[in-house]
Amino acid sequence: MTGIFIALGTNIEPRYEHLQEALRLLDHHNDISVEARSPIYETEPVGYTDQAHFLNMVVRIETSLEPLELLTACQGIEQQLGRKRSIRFGPRTIDLDIIMYQDAIIQTDVLTVPHPRMHERAFVLVPLKQLAPDVSVPGLDKTVKNLLEVCSDHEKKDVIRWNKTDLADA
């Protein structure tokens, strides 16, 4: 069993507060418990690059929710925090992506797990490695650590550990 991991990202101010509120809402959900949190990392945008830098992190949760129920809960939190989906890969108050749900491989119209691009994204792999370096990613048969090792150096150098004291940009 790999555990259940959710990636969080935000690049609309107040970024730190959006992360904290998303964590609070996850942990206060009747069927979700946040068990571990990675450090927060600041990253450059991917895809649509004409936007502010992101704060990213990963959490490991326990839940009695099935994957699609968890997706609904995550999307509800995004809506509560004002998430707008107007530009693909565009600015967002908060983004919650289910990146792994135990050993499950899921492909539906609304949910793909493991997340289909997680193995290419240092901004997911770096914080995930803090929580689960030796977990094997279902369907890829590589550990998180192995996936990060083959991720491009350019991608990895753009993932910088962020501290709350870095609020000068907020």
pLDDT tens digits, one per residue of 52-75: 889 999 999 999 999 999 999 999
Q: At what angle do helices 67-80 and 15-28 cross, to 10 degrees?
A: 140
Annotated active-site residue 166? The verdict is: no
- To which H or E segment does residue 75 belong? helix 67-80
169 catalytically annotated: no
Supply the pLDDT for residue 117.
Answer: 87
| CATH fold for the domain made of 4-169 | Alpha-Beta Plaits (3.30.70)
Known catalytic residue at 85: no
Stated pTM of the model: 0.91
**For residues 105-112, average pLDDT:** 96
Q: Which of 15, 60, 92, 121 is catalytic?
A: 92
